[in-house]
Amino acid sequence: MTGQALEIRPAGTSPEQLAAYSGLLSEVFEASPKFTAESIAWRYRDNPAGTVVGADAWAGETLAAHYVTCPLWATVEGERRRGLLSMNTATHPDFQGQGLFTRLAQATYDQGRAAGYDFVIGVANANSTPGFLRKLAFQHVASLKAGVLTLAPRRFEAAPVQYAGDWSAELLAWRLANPAIHYGVGRSGSLTGVWAPTHLPFVRCAAFVETAAEPRPGRPLGPALFIGLEPRLDFGRLGFMPLPERFRASPLNVIWRALGDAAPAQLDPGRVALNFLDFDPY
């Protein structure tokens, strides 16, 4: 089907679009609770920070390719700013090799800039990182830490932070309402700990924020996987044990692109705070 004319359209949240996204993502990857129409509606339509910004390539009634970014709020250099999280991308097998991802990404960032978003941030695996850097002018900020926290932190240390997710009570309540997964929530000193089941048996992934959330029944916070960056945690004091390379499926890299002058052109990797709530692996 390489000769078939394609039409580039903005992504959206109509029932027909959500069903098409569910079908394409489930075909390209594999059927998963996170790719049901309900879960996609939660992520794309119901986000209090805004509806999805993205672009689709259509060949008649066939969704050939899809790329979206999801709105977020973050504190950037001390200011609360609106940005976009690079999220789902998929190309139908019949339309691969045509450079559709790059076309859709550029259309998406143009939409985002016009709508007043200041930046795009994402977490890319080893395969997709080079395309973001070479073709789309992203910065490779840092590779994420991955390891086990033996102890749960009870507070953040005083440390300069250039970038951190801004989780209001409303945004955190929405994030915890993800229909594809059940989170545990509990207080740990001045922090709220959130943990999620992972694909590994008996292994939970932990995140910590200063916004209070309603505790939920579950095991108390304890040893858990941490994936992210956090200059406000003393990892040595918390007994952090890095995950051996053989247990990592792929390095995960933080990528960044400013969409205007309001956001810095580059981030300092030593001053970025990012946890699983910010980039949505669980």
Domains of the chain, by residue range, sit at 7-70+87-117, 143-279
In this predicted structure, what is the pLDDT of residue 262? 95
User: Cα–Cα distance between 206 and 149 in angstroms, integer?
Assistant: 9
Alpha-carbon distance of 137 to 133, in angstroms, equals: 5
Q: What is residue 3's predicted lDDT score, i.e. its pLDDT? A: 55
pLDDT attached to residue 89: 96
Query: Directed axis angle between helix 129-136 and helix 100-114, to 10°?
Result: 60
Give pLDDT tens digits along the chain (282 positions). 455 689 999 999 999 999 999 999 999 998 899 999 999 999 999 999 999 999 999 999 999 999 999 999 999 999 999 999 999 999 999 999 999 999 999 999 999 999 999 999 999 999 999 999 999 999 999 999 999 999 999 999 999 999 999 999 999 999 999 999 999 998 888 999 999 998 877 889 999 999 877 766 555 556 899 999 999 999 999 999 998 776 666 789 999 999 999 999 999 999 999 999 999 899
Fold for the domain defined by 7-70+87-117: Aminopeptidase (3.40.630)
The token duo for 275 is 């946890």
Helix (H) or strand (E) holding 135: helix 129-136
Q: Of 185, 225, 220, which is closest to residue 202 (Cα–Cα)? A: 225
pLDDT number for residue 203: 84
The pTM score is: 0.94
pLDDT at 122: 98
3-state helix, strand, coil in the chain (%, to 5): 25, 35, 45
Q: Say what the pLDDT of residue 92 is.
A: 96
Q: Is the dihedral of CA 275, 279, 280, 282 positive or negative?
A: negative
What the block records as the tokens of 254 is 């933080």
pLDDT of residue 207: 96
Element (H, E) at 70: strand 62-76
